[in-house]
């Protein structure tokens, strides 16, 4: 073993001294000869004819160009990401891997090491240029070329712009909104325009917490009156939630922490009005209405037939996985539980999976580092999608809790013929946060993941769909995974992802906050088009339990343009229906309408999330908007309708699309619940 390792090094050293002037001239001939031999080192003749390795400067992938031999200082490394290719390190393999994940600087070292990073790392980490004769080791996968040496990098640079991150002049800003009462873990904007927050209470540091609060945004400058204290019976810690398509837009919360809480089914009918508290409470009857199996860290989704799916999670705190889904309302007497072997196999890295209803009616699920498409009736797998790319160093890096990234659907636009795109940003390689977004069109002919690098690492990010079809990416940490005490090095900067730009040019770097927001942080679109930023329950030493609430003023509101006004007489829409809407514009720029589905947000999940740009036509101030065509393009549900005057969105108006086909308004028929009817 020792022998075979030493021999090639010695060999190259000797041939280097003797043979350099002769070999280079005719290296290709010699290579062809040696390539017929089974091994380069097993006979005397090969020793004399083998090509001396040279620097590869041509036939490089992409826009890579050879730079120089670089010495690393002491034991430190210049670049952050190391990949070992024991058998197949080469310029081709190393450089392609680095640029695929967005690193424009790379080098091979010691024959079998591949390093990826940024040009700035070279100066920051003290790399120094040394004579080319310092880089003498052949590549483990290409004996004819050089891959650095001991603490010597064969350095290559991408000759071009690999990541065209935008730095616009108008970057918006964070504003402090109001002190909070608890670090909430679930945020939902209700049809009453107020924000419902839920928080764990069984284990809270805040012994004074009831676990449920509602924020009246119209009273944001009046702390004493803005917060309404509500009650839940069981502990909502790491539950799932969504807004139902029933008439009242009830908020449904499912599962929770330990024992009866894990079976919890809780409903709240948002009421009251700006400045006036509602009187409705969270309703729950733990002894008569329960999930079929305990769930903690699960995700909920309204199906195209209007029923509710809840998927995955654990059976309770410290409990086994619950690799199943179930459908609500439960068929009387029957079980609706379906086992999912792929969730069992990827336990425990698939908590809060990312399910979506696709335009074909099938269901996409992203979980851990995998994705697949399910039949909407049987939930059997109909297509296994390629694995989700992870980090440059490991495809085992994950995207769902605890390696928590965030996911959204990109906008659907009339006539809804473009394939839909799922976007996932951030995540973690079991502690090292990921610095990329990945996206896929699950129903295109040959679905493949597109990788776009973010300007920095983020685990536990939040993504918010904005009314103009862009996405705000905020919150999160640069190290760790989701969970108490498990995240550190917060990222304080907001990013904007604009899918209307070409891949690689979609990310803009926006403004910074001063408030660290890691585990149990949320970001939620408000009806006035600002974004509410809440929470952080990190329990990481040095970081507070964060109660302060901020808003982000996106670029479309920070330049002082007056928001347009939209008046919607009919707010209960049928598929394909046409609705007259009056608009008032102040800039008179290009008009667009968007429908942003009502969501509940937690753990990078935007439950119910969807953005639709419907067809419309206008005459003067009167427009006719055509509702999306069917339950597949847009499952039944509540949306906020916005009109955009150029870049500037109005306030949203809640409209329901597709009614309540599963008759959720009559459920649950128990005395403890107030039913809106259908």
Ligand X SMILES: *[C@@H]1O[C@H](CO)[C@@H](O)[C@H](O)[C@H]1NC(C)=O
Give the one residue of 20, 377, 622, 670 binding ligand X; rule: CB under 6 A.
Answer: 377
Which 8-state DSSP code applies to residue 257?
A: S
| Comparison of 535 and 614: residue with beta carbon closer to ligand X | 535
* Site for ligand X contains 508 (CB under 6 A): no
* Residue number, 175 or 572, with CB nearest to ligand X: 175
Q: Would you count residue 610 as binding ligand X (CB under 6 A)?
A: no
Nearer to ligand X, 206 or 575 (CB): 206
Q: Which is closer to ligand X, CB of 134 or CB of 640? A: 134
Contacting residue, 307, 322, 403, 470, with ligand X by CB under 6 A: 307
Residue among 111, 211, 306, 487 that touches ligand X (CB under 6 A): 306
Q: Least distance (Å) from ligand X to the CB of residue 415? A: 27
Selected range binding ligand X among 284-292, 304-312, 443-451, 637-645, rule: CB under 6 A: 304-312
Q: Residue from 35, 512, 570, 621 that binds ligand X (CB under 6 A)?
A: 512
The string of DSSP codes covering 276-335 is B------B--TTT---SS--BS-EEEE-TTS-EEEE--BSSTT--B--EEEEESPPTT--
Q: How far apart are CA 91 and CA 108, in angstroms?
A: 7
User: What minimum distance in Å lies between the beta carbon of 588 and ligand X?
Assistant: 26
For residue 441, give both structure tokens.
């069109």
Look up residue 190 and give its two tokens: 């209700």
Question: How many CA atoms, within 13 angstroms, populate the side-chain half-sphere of residue 12?
Answer: 22
Residue 11: CB partners within 8 Å, gap ≥ 6? Answer: 41, 47, 50
Q: Residues 370, 371, 377, 378: what is their CA dihedral angle, to the nearest 10 degrees?
A: -30
CB of residue 171 vs ligand X: minimum separation in angstroms?
5
Give the side-chain half-sphere CA count within 13 A for 24.
8
Considering only 191-199, 301-309, 568-576, 647-655, which stretch makes contact with ligand X by CB under 6 A? 301-309
Nearer to ligand X, 326 or 645 (CB): 326
Q: How far is the CB of 86 from ligand X (least distance, A)?
A: 6
Interacting residue with ligand X among 174, 197, 409, 497 (CB under 6 A): 174
Q: Interface residues for ligand X in 317-336 (CB under 6 A)?
A: 327, 336
- The number of CA neighbours under 13 Å toward the Cβ of 578 is 7
Tell me 404's DSSP state. Answer: -
Whether 186 contacts 170, CB under 8 Å: no
| Closest listed residue to residue 434, CA positions, set 475, 473, 403 | 403
CB of 40 to ligand X, least distance (A): 19
Confirm if 272 and 194 have CB atoms less than 8 A apart.
yes
Window of 252-260, 490-498, 576-584, 651-659 that interacts with ligand X by CB under 6 A: 490-498
Q: How many residues bind ligand X (CB under 6 A)?
A: 41
Query: Which positions from 68 through 107 interact with ligand X, judged by CB under 6 A?
Result: 85, 87-88, 93
> Smaller CB distance to ligand X: residue 208 or 562?
208
Q: What angle do CA 146, 126, 111 make, to 5 degrees?
A: 20
Show contacts with ligand X in window 108-167 (CB under 6 A). 130-131, 133-134
Nearer to ligand X, 437 or 585 (CB): 437
Site map 192..231 versus ligand X, x via CB under 6 A: --------------x-xx---------x----xx--xx--
DSSP E strands in 179-232: the ranges are: 186-189, 195-198, 211-215, 227-231
Nearer to ligand X, 419 or 544 (CB): 544
The region, left, alpha or beta by phi > 0 then psi within -120 to 50, assigned to residue 110 is left
Residue 517: what are its φ and ψ, rounded to 5°?
Answer: -135, 105
C-beta closer to ligand X: residue 85 or 579: 85
Least Å distance, CB 133 to ligand X, is: 3
**Dihedral (C-alpha) 521, 522, 528, 530: value to the nearest 10 degrees?**
60
CA distance 118 to 103: 6
Paired sense of beta strands 648-649 and 565-567, if any: unpaired
Q: Residue 396 interacts with ligand X (CB under 6 A)?
A: no
Looking at the Cβ atoms of 93 and 428, the one nearer to ligand X is 93
Choose one: 342-350, 492-500, 583-591, 641-649; the region binding ligand X (CB under 6 A).
492-500
Nearer to ligand X, 221 or 588 (CB): 221
- Figure out which of the listed residues 173, 330, 372, 603 binds ligand X, where binding follows CB under 6 A: 173
Cα 123 to Cα 131: distance, rounded to the nearest angstrom: 18
Task: Supply the minimum distance, in Å, between the C-beta of residue 303 and ligand X.
Answer: 5
456 is a site residue for ligand X (CB under 6 A) = yes
- Give min distance, CB of 221 to ligand X, in A: 13
Which residue lies nearer to ligand X by CB, 232 or 623?
A: 232
Q: Which of 320, 416, 437 is nearest to 360 (CA)?
A: 416
- Tokens linked to 643: 């009109």
**Closer of 136 and 234 to ligand X (Cβ):** 136
Give min distance, CB of 348 to ligand X, in A. 25
CB atoms within 10 A of CB 518: 30
With residue 10 as reference, give the H or E element that holds it.
Answer: helix 2-23
Decide whether 146 or 314 has the Cβ nearer to ligand X.
Answer: 146
Q: Are 514 and 492 in contact (CB under 8 A)?
A: yes
The residue ranges that bind ligand X (CB under 6 A) are 85, 87-88, 93, 130-131, 133-134, 171, 173-174, 181-182, 206, 208-209, 219, 224-225, 228-229, 275, 277, 303, 305-307, 327, 336, 377, 455-456, 491-493, 495, 509, 511-512, 547, 662
């Amino acid at each position: 073993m020792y022998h075979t390792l030493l021999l090639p090094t010695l060999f190259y050293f000797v041939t280097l001294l003797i043979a350099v002037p002769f070999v280079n001239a005719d290296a290709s001939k010699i290579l062809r000869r040696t390539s017929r031999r089974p091994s380069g080192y097993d006979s005397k003749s090969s020793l004399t004819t083998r090509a001396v390795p040279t620097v590869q400067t041509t036939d490089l992938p992409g826009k890579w160009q050879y730079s120089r031999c670089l010495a690393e200082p002491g034991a430190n490394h210049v670049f952050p990401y190391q990949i070992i290719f024991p058998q197949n390190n080469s310029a081709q393999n190393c450089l392609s891997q680095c640029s695929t994940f967005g690193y424009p600087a790379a080098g091979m070292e010691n024959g079998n090491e591949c390093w990826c990073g940024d040009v700035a790392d070279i100066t920051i980490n003290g790399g120094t240029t040394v004579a080319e004769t310092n880089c003498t080791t052949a590549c483990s996968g290409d004996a004819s070329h050089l891959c650095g040496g001991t603490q010597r990098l064969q350095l290559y640079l991408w000759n071009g712009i690999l990541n065209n991150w935008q730095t616009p002049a108008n970057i918006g800003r964070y504003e402090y909104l109001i002190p909070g009462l608890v670090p909430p873990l679930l945020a939902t904007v209700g049809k009453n325009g107020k924000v419902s927050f839920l928080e764990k209470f069984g284990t809270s540091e805040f012994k004074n917490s009831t676990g449920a609060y509602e924020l009246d945004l119209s009273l944001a400058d009046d702390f004493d009156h803005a917060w309404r204290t509500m009650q839940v019976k069981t502990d909502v810690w790491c539950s799932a939630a969504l807004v139902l398509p029933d008439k009242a837009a009830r908020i449904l919360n499912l599962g929770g922490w330990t024992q009866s809480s894990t079976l919890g089914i809780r409903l709240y009918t948002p009421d009251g009005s700006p400045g006036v508290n509602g009187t409705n409470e969270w309703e729950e009857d733990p002894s008569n209405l329960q999930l079929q199996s305990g769930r903690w860290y699960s995700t909920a989704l309204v199906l195209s037939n209007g029923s509710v799916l809840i998927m995955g999670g654990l059976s309770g705190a410290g409990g086994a996985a619950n690799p199943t889904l179930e459908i609500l309302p439960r068929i009387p007497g029957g079980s609706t539980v379906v086992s999912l072997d792929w969730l069992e196999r990827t336990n425990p890295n698939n908590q809060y999976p990312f399910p979506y209803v696709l335009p074909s009616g099938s269901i996409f699920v992203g979980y851990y580092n995998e994705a697949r498409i399910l039949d909407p009736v049987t939930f059997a797998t109909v297509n296994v999608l390629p694995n989700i790319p992870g980090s440059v160093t490991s495809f085992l890096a994950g995207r769902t809790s605890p390696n928590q990234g965030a996911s959204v659907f990109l906008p659907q636009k009339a006539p809804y013929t473009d394939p839909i795109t799922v976007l996932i940003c951030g995540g973690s390689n079991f502690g090292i946060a990921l610095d990329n977004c990945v996206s896929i069109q699950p129903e295109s002919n040959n679905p493949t993941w597109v990788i776009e690098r973010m300007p920095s690492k983020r685990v536990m990010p939040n993504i918010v769909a904005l009314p103009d079809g862009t996405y705000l990416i905020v919150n999160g940490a640069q190290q760790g995974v989701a969970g108490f005490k498990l995240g550190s090095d917060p990222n304080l900067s907001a990013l904007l992802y604009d899918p209307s730009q070409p891949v690689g040019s979609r990310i803009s770097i926006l403004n910074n906050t001063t408030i660290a927001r890691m585990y149990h942080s949320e970001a939620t679109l408000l009806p006035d088009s600002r974004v509410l930023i809440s929470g952080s329950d990190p329990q990481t030493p040095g970081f507070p339990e964060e109660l302060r609430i901020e808003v982000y003023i996106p670029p479309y509101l920070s330049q002082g343009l007056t928001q347009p006004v939209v008046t919607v007489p009919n707010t209960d829409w049928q598929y394909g229906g046409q609705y007259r809407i009056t608009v008032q514009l102040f800039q008179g720029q290009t008009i667009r309408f968007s429908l942003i589905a009502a969501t509940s947000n937690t753990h990078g999940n935007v439950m119910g999330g969807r953005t639709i740009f419907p067809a419309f036509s206008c005459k003067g101030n009167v427009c006719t908007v055509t509702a999306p065509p069917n339950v597949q393009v847009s499952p039944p549900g509540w949306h906020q309708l916005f009109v955009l005057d150029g870049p500037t969105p109005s306030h949203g108006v809640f409209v329901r699309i597709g009614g309540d086909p599963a008759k959720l308004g009559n459920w649950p028929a128990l005395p403890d619940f107030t039913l809106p009817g259908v």
